[in-house]
């Protein structure tokens, strides 16, 4: 179990899915980053920061304008406060080259975080969707080091084509899956809390923001789900983050649509 200490007022966000087609979501997120720089003492971005990530070289050699703006905002944030990155199921190929270029720290999840509100288990969340056997098979394949090395050695145009194909296959596959199997498995969550010694878990991925009260072997426990960010295509704009502090504990905050100039 990966462990880390992060004292002070900590903010956590995930599932922004930055890309070329989400300018309003990007703007809302950059406004959030400005607030985080002013109010938080550290920020963790807990996966699916990007809608897809096909290699650090892609970003750092000739980034398209949208990506250049995103990298600038992340770099600016890392210069102001400690910025930690966790990989998601879309951006699991983010590497140390990117982290160094941003001045950020890439941390392996799940991670037991020792915070001012006590120990918290933090993960993107896709690893707990254990009822989704097809996804877990996919995850094992794309997390295989030699497969990642082969993929990253391909020309960018080939990587982009594979990523687009994988995205389309995923969109199709989701249509055939129930909402239940695309959520985290309750036992997987309890087992993760047991083995980490935490009574609080924070994750993203499911795009189902909520606070769930759990019974962990007779002890109360809580599972916080981070909001996803969508200000371009959703009927009701949505975004949000979690704050962790000694004074207020763990709190889930929506990012007000008004703040995004909507
Ligand atoms: O992502 P989303 O929200 O649509 O659904 C996820 C699960 N799907 C994925 C797949 C990603 O979307 C693919 C994009 C990754 C791009 C970058 C990497 C490119 C390849 C790198 C190779 C090293 O995460 C979805 C879950 C859902 O969350 C809910 O939890 O159900 O899982 C699936 O849909 C998986 C499918 O069931 C089966 C696999 C389809 C894709 C096959 C492509 C294989 C490419 C392998 C190349 C070596
Ligand atoms: Mn995800």
Q: Report pLDDT for 222.
A: 98
194 lines ligand 1 (CB under 6 A): no
**Ligand 1 centroid vs 136 CA: distance in angstroms?**
10
Q: Which ligand sits nearest to residue 225's alpha carbon?
A: 2
Residue minimizing CA distance to atom 43 of ligand 1: 166
What are the tokens at 143? Answer: 């997390």
Give the integer Cα–Cα distance in Å for 196 and 79: 31
Using the atom order of ligand 1, give the atom closest to the CA of residue 126.
30
Which of 65, 66, 55, 77 is closest to 17 using CA atoms? 66
Q: What pTM was estimated for this model as a whole? A: 0.97
Strands 42-46 and 83-86: parallel
What are the tokens at 222? Answer: 């809580």
Average pLDDT of every residue of the chain: 96
Q: What is the mean pLDDT of each run of 10 residues along the chain (262 residues)?
A: 95 98 98 98 98 92 94 98 98 98 98 98 98 98 98 96 97 94 97 98 98 98 98 93 98 77 42
With contact defined as beta carbons under 8 Å apart, do 124 and 161 qualify? no
Q: Report pLDDT for 10.
A: 98
Q: Report pLDDT for 197.
A: 98
Q: Report pLDDT for 262.
A: 39
Which of 14, 27, 106 is closest to 66 using CA atoms? 27
**Ligand 1 centroid vs 167 CA: distance in angstroms?**
6
The CA radius of gyration of the chain, in Å to the nearest whole number, is 18
Strand partners, 113: 4, 120
Q: Report pLDDT for 60.
A: 83
Task: For ligand 1, pick from 149, 159, 170 the residue to mutate: most ligand atoms within 8 Å of CB.
Answer: 170
Q: Report pLDDT for 259.
A: 55
């Amino acid at each position: 179990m990966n462990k880390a200490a992060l004292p002070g007022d900590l903010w956590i966000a995930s599932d922004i899915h930055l890309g070329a087609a989400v300018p309003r979501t990007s703007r809302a997120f950059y406004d959030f980053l400005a607030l985080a720089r002013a109010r938080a003492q550290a920020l963790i971005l807990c996966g699916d920061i990007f809608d897809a990530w096909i290699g650090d070289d892609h970003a750092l050699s000739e980034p398209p304008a949208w990506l250049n703006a995103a990298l600038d905002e992340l770099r600016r944030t890392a210069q102001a406060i400690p910025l930690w990155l966790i990989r998601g199921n879309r951006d699991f190929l983010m590497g140390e080259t990117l982290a160094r270029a941003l001045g950020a720290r890439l941390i392996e999840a799940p991670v037991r975080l020792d915070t001012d509100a006590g120990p918290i288990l933090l993960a993107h969340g896709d690893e707990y969707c254990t009822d989704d056997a097809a996804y877990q098979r996919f995850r094992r394949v794309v997390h295989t080091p030699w497969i990642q090395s082969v993929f990253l050695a391909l020309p960018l145009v080939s990587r982009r084509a594979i990523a687009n194909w994988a995205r389309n296959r995923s969109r199709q596959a989701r249509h055939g899956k129930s909402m239940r199997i695309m959520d985290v498995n309750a036992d997987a969550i309890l087992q993760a809390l047991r083995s980490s010694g935490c009574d609080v878990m924070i994750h993203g991925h499911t795009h189902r923001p909520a606070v769930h009260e759990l019974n962990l072997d007779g002890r109360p426990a809580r599972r916080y789900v981070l909001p996803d960010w969508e200000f371009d295509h959703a009927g009701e704009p949505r975004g949000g983050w979690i704050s962790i502090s000694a004074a207020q504990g763990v709190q889930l905050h929506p990012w007000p649509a008004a703040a995004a100039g909507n």
